Amino acid sequence: DQQVKQNSPSLSVQEGRISILNCDYTNSMFDYFLWYKKYPAEGPTFLISISSIKDKNEDGRFTVFLNKSAKHLSLHIVPSQPGDSAVYFCAALMNSGGSNYKLTFGKGTLLTVNP
Amino acid sequence: NAGVTQTPKFQVLKTGQSMTLQCAQDMNHNSMYWYRQDPGMGLRLIYYSASEGTTDKGEVPNGYNVSRLNKREFSLRLESAAPSQTSVYFCASSTRSQGPSNYGYTFGSGTRLTVV
């Protein structure tokens, strides 16, 4: 049973417009949510995170929104740039005992920003 | 400032062969992880090590073993490779010691493994 779901395998937007990537989760015990960006032939890199007690976190062009009641989060990129073209993974963090935390990833969404 | 280093970057194995994927981090992180990435499946946790001297199974541990050699190094071993283990393998490390903004993992660049 997948606990973190990214239902859109791909998204295509025009340069300068807004990109909205969505993510749903099922486990209310997650205490942090993170977005990772991955280019081909590279490892994922951390982009932005949000605590489960917050509803918004902003960092430059990137904003993550969290709706706990709906168990839904979204990543907004404004304005989108061609260099943002990558696979975006949503991930959820939970304490699995003591000081051990584990990330659970969604399947990813391929974002293509067209010039 | 290497971060997480994985070797090798590419490998082709024959079914039944064994090999060890190496991972080392220089950030003094306590926790280390092995993930595999398959098309349409996202990143799935194979094994993790919360701290030096401990290892635990993740979501897809069958066919793999791990060793946390010291705080820096965490290796993944395939004893008898199978075509189903063809994948891209990522090692990651993490620490919580610096607060919530650093809960994220640092990933290596991956090992692309093909089993024929």
Residue-wise pLDDT for B31-90, tens only, equals 899 999 998 888 999 999 988 889 999 989 999 999 998 999 999 999 999 999 999 999
Q: Could B44 and A9 be called an inter-chain contact, meaning their C-beta atoms sit closer than 8 Å?
A: no
For residue B92, the chain A residues in CB contact (below 8 A) are: 43
* Burial of residue A79 (number of CB atoms within 10 Å: 0-12, 13-18, 19+): middle
The structure tokens listed for A74 are 């979204």
Closest CA to A66 of A51, A53, A55, A78: A55
- pLDDT at position B19: 96
For residue B53, the 8-state DSSP code is: T
- Cis ω for the linkage preceding A79 (within 30 of 0): yes
Rounded distance, CA B10 to CA B110, Å? 9
The alpha carbon of residue A46 is apart from the nearest alpha carbon of chain B, in Å, by 6
Q: B43–A44: do the CB atoms touch at under 8 Å?
A: yes
Kindly give, in sequence order, each residue whose CB lies less than 8 Å from that of residue A110, ignoring residues fewer than 6 positions away: A9, A10, A11, A86, A87, A88
Nearest to B96 among A6, A36, A101 (CB): A101
Tokens of A84: 């943002």
- pLDDT tens-digit profile of A38-93? 999 899 999 999 999 999 999 999 999 999 999 999 999 999 999 999 999 999 98
Q: Do A105 and B48 touch (CB under 8 A)?
A: no
Look at B109 and A100 and tell me if their CB atoms are within 8 Å: no
Please tell me the distance from the alpha carbon of residue A62 to that of residue A19, in angstroms, as a whole number.
10
Collapsing DSSP to helix, strand or coil, A26 comes out as: coil
The minimum CA-CA distance between B115 and chain A, rounded to whole Å, is 19
Q: How confident is the model at residue A95 (pLDDT cuts 50, 70, 90)?
A: confident
Q: How confident is the model at residue B103 (pLDDT cuts 50, 70, 90)?
A: low
How many whole angstroms separate alpha carbon A20 and alpha carbon A26? 20
Give A108's contacts in chain B (Cβ within 8 Å): 42
Does the pLDDT of residue B104 top 80, yes or no? Answer: no
**Of B23, B17, B22, which Cα lies nearest the Cα of B85?**
B17
pLDDT for B101 equals 52
A interface with B, Cβ–Cβ below 8 Å: 6, 9, 32, 34, 36, 41-46, 49, 51, 89, 93, 98-108
- Taking the C-alpha atoms of residue A93 and residue A30, their distance in angstroms, rounded to an integer, is 6
Q: How far is CA B93 from CA A38, A52, B1, B48, in A?
A: 16, 22, 14, 9
- pLDDT of B98 reads 47
Confidence of residue B96 (pLDDT cuts 50, 70, 90): low
Cβ count near B18 (within 10 Å): 10
Q: Coil, strand, or helix at residue B100?
A: helix
pLDDT at B21: 98
Question: A-chain residues within 8 Å CB-CB of B10?
Answer: none
